[in-house]
Structure 1
Amino acid sequence: MSPDVSTTGLPRRAALSDPGYQAFLLLRTVFTVAPILFGLDKFANLLVDWPSYLAPWIDTIVPGTAGQAMYVIGVVEVVAGITVALIPRFGSWLVAAWLAGIIVNLLTVPGFYDIALRDFGLLVAAVALARLASRYAPAPRTS
């Protein structure tokens, strides 16, 4: 592919002026950066005390402590963000599924319904990214 042509097949300048492509780039950037930052913060707890968000019933079925579970969750989130950056057609669905799991967790913890609603909005945005990626992300190469 010529360096003057984007992955959409349009000339690069035309692609950058396409509102759909702009939305794809914005969502791809957010769903790359946010999961990586939140995942890394699971090790530092600078933003919030993450273990307090783990539903007690989940804490009883995962091995170790809630804090240790957050380390695993942090790794998954970092991997999800990197996957969105590299393979947005797949990574966006991975993030949407992860958010669905977070929502189920939050709905079973009294007092976190507002965060579950916010995460539902993020899930919808991740699905929108998946749909945009089907048009704007490069197709997997088969050779």
Structure 2
Amino acid sequence: MATIKQLQSTLKLTFGLVPIIAGLDKYTNLLTNWADYLNKSLIPIDAMLFMKIVGVVEIIAGLLVLIRPLIGAYIVMIWLICIALQLILMGHYLDVAVRDLVMAIGAYTLAQLTKMAPAKG
């Protein structure tokens, strides 16, 4: 049976590495064309520039999860909810919006497990 610490470690790696990878991919678009998921009418700058800024935010959020999992998990949770709401308002990629909401629940779970895990030292 997995311990709280093991579950927390798994979620910490997941919610740390995935945002970093997605953030880096905002510069290469190897996984997808990220600008397609953007409601371009809501932003006053070039979509690709905006996505590069998003990439930096995602990299920072992922690093925060790895360094300070409690704070980082809440930031990632809020970020994922915002992405999902943007997709819902756009009326496209609703499957991705649902996936992001489920991932937000996972990030919330990481935060709660981090509160429960005994402190180091």
Gaps of 5+ in 2: none
Say yes or no: does 1:133 pair with 2:117. no
Question: Which one-letter code corresponds to 2:25 in the other structure?
Answer: D
User: Matches of 2:2 and 2:103 in 1, distance apart?
Assistant: 23
User: Matches of 1:55 and 1:111 in 2, distance apart?
Assistant: 9
Deviation at 1:47, TM superposition (A): 0.4
**Contact 2:69–2:111 under 8 Å retained in 1:** yes
Aligned residue number for residue 97 of structure 1: 78
User: Matches of 2:118 and 2:67 in 1, distance apart?
Assistant: 10
**Contact 1:88–1:137 under 8 Å retained in 2:** no
> Whose helix proportion is higher, 1 or 2?
2
Paired residue for 1:47, among 31, 37, 42? 31
Gaps of 5+ in 1: 1-16
Question: Which one-letter code corresponds to 1:118 in the other structure?
Answer: R
Deviation at 1:110, TM superposition (A): 2.7
User: Matches of 2:74 and 2:39 in 1, distance apart?
Assistant: 24
SS at match of 1:27: helix
Deviation at 1:18, TM superposition (A): 4.7
Structure 1 85/137 Cα, relative in aligned 2: closer, same or farther at 3 Å?
farther
RMSD of equivalent CA atoms: 1.7
**Contact 1:32–1:82 under 8 Å retained in 2:** yes
SS at match of 1:35: helix
Deviation at 1:137, TM superposition (A): 6.5
